[in-house]
């Protein structure tokens, strides 16, 4: 007898061999990935990578040239109307009925669905739009508009939520508040696909990420996998200690290389605990304590730089 596992369940999203060109531009050029239920998946990449085009095909809003697209068990290309009631969509460039107020737009969207879902007040409070209830959407700031757009995506309490660059234009406080909303969706068993060009956001939120550039997925996996695939070492850093020679540092357990910069010593090591132990011993021998001792691992930003030869944001 076999026990069914989560991995054996049909994924919430399955994309295989997706292609979409606009004239000569191959916006999406052979994209495949899967998203499991109850997870947050991040599609990362610079402007023009093909993220929005991919997401719009998954939402049933745009027809691909070819490729298989199954979302919640539905063929998103043939049956988009079966899909739409079950998903939530926060579009990157949402048309928000400029003359209507926040409450009116939410009520309007709630009217598109039959029963259930979330109340307008609940959504206003969730997205912290209380002070803007009676403001026309044309007078909202970029960040407020984004928050409203996310609120609209949640009107029908969807199983799967698509958020296309949800925090662009938000200040840090609003960004963090949105992160809590996204994590709350996962806690409630929902699935989230978000696109972003903020790698820190992906590190905080995403169970798995795909890095996209020029219509291709370059890497896919957990952040930890992506980082450790490329960077085997972590950096142990501390304020440079006088009288601790380079040769001694280089012989510490696991240390692959030593770097000094701006008064910092950086030891790139495969044995963080062993290296820290040796640093503490050496410092004690000199009668000092290492100052500002810390460990830094490579980040998604380092992965992106290594993959593409450029930073994600200029
Ligand atoms: N409606 C469209 N018509 C023509 N070209 C488009 C259209 N939408 C996107 N593109 C082009 O397709 C490529 C991918 O765009 P997009 O999917 O919006 O990427 P991203 O969301 O990652 O910025 C870009 O080169 C963009 O200029
Ligand atoms: Mg986009």
- Contact between 212 and 33 under an 8 Å Cβ cutoff? The reply is no
Does residue 91's CB lie within 6 angstroms of at least one atom of ligand 1?
Answer: no
pLDDT over threshold 80, residue 261: yes
Cα–Cα distance, 217 to 32 (Å, whole number): 8
Strands 191-196 and 40-44: parallel
- Contact between 34 and 210 under an 8 Å Cβ cutoff? The reply is no
Q: Return the SS3 of 4.
A: coil
pLDDT over threshold 60, residue 2: no
Among residues 109, 2, 24, 17, the alpha carbon closest in space to that of 57 is found at: 17
- Nearest ligand atom owner, CA of 93: 2
Reported as a single tens digit per residue, the pLDDT across 17-30 is 999 999 999 999 99
Among residues 27, 11, 115, 147, the alpha carbon closest in space to that of 73 is found at: 11
Ligand 2 centroid to residue 85 C-alpha, Å? 23
Whole-angstrom Cα Rg for the chain = 24
Among residues 275, 311, 295, 297, the alpha carbon closest in space to that of 224 is found at: 297
- Contact between 35 and 16 under an 8 Å Cβ cutoff? The reply is no
Q: Which two tokens mark 111? A: 């009217």
* β-pair partners for 238: 265
What is the DSSP annotation of 50-96?
A: SHHHHHHHHTTSS--SEEEEEETTEETTT-HHHHGGGEEEE-TT---
Does residue 20's CB lie within 6 angstroms of at least one atom of ligand 1?
Answer: no
Which CATH superfamily includes the segment(s) 10-228? P-loop containing nucleotide triphosphate hydrolases (3.40.50.300)
Does residue 45's CB lie within 6 angstroms of at least one atom of ligand 1?
Answer: yes
Reported as a single tens digit per residue, the pLDDT across 197-238 is 898 899 999 999 999 999 999 999 999 999 988 888 899 999
pLDDT over threshold 70, residue 256: yes
Q: Does the domain formed by 232-296 have CATH 3.30.70? A: yes
Does residue 24's CB lie within 6 angstroms of at least one atom of ligand 1?
Answer: no
Whole-structure pTM value:
0.85
Does residue 18's CB lie within 6 angstroms of at least one atom of ligand 1?
Answer: no
Indicate the DSSP class of residue 137: G
Ligand 1 centroid to residue 131 C-alpha, Å? 35
Average confidence score pLDDT of the chain: 91
Q: Which residues contact 192 (CB under 8 A, 6 or more apart)?
A: 39, 40, 41, 160, 161, 162, 163, 182, 185, 186, 205
Cα–Cα distance, 199 to 189 (Å, whole number): 24
Q: Whose CA is closest to atom 12 on ligand 1?
A: 27
Reported as a single tens digit per residue, the pLDDT across 156-182 is 999 999 999 999 888 898 899 999 999
Domain coordinates of the chain in residue numbers?
A: 10-228, 232-296
- Contact between 90 and 163 under an 8 Å Cβ cutoff? The reply is yes
Contacts 24+ apart (CB under 8 A), 304-309: 304/44, 304/199, 304/211, 306/230, 306/231, 307/211, 307/213, 307/218, 307/219, 308/213, 308/218
């Amino acid at each position: 007898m076999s026990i069914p596992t989560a991995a054996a369940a049909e994924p919430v999203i399955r994309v295989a061999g997706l292609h979409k060109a606009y004239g000569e531009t191959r916006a999406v050029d052979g994209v495949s990935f899967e998203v499991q239920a109850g997870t947050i998946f991040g599609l990362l990449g610079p402007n023009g990578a093909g993220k929005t085009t991919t997401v719009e095909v998954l939402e049933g809003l745009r027809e691909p040239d070819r490729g298989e697209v199954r979302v919640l068990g539905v063929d998103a290309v043939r049956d988009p109307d079966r899909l739409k009631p079950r998903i939530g969509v926060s579009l990157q460039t949402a048309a928000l009925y400029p003359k209507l107020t926040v409450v009116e737009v939410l009520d309007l969207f709630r009217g598109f669905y039959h029963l259930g879902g979330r109340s307008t007040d609940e959504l206003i409070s969730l997205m912290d739009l209380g002070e803007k209830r009676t403001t026309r959407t044309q007078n909202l700031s970029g960040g407020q508009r984004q928050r409203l757009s996310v609120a609209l995506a949640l009107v029908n309490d969807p199983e799967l939520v698509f958020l296309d660059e949800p925090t662009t234009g938000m200040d840090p406080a609003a960004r963090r508040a949105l992160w809590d909303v996204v994590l709350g969706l996962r806690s409630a068993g929902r699935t989230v696909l978000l696109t972003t060009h903020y790698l820190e956001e992906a590190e905080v939120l995403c169970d798995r990420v795909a890095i996209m550039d020029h219509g291709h997925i370059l890497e896919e996996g957990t952040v930890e996998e992506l980082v450790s695939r490329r960077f085997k070492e972590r950096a142990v850093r501390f304020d440079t200690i006088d009288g601790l020679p380079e040769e001694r540092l280089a012989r510490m357990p696991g240390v692959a290389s030593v770097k000094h910069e701006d008064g910092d010593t950086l030891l790139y090591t495969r044995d963080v605990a062993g290296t820290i132990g040796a640093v503490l011993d050496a410092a004690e021998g000199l009668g000092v304590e290492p100052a500002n001792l810390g460990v830094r691992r490579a980040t998604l930003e380092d992965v992106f730089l290594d993959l593409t030869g450029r930073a994600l944001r200029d």
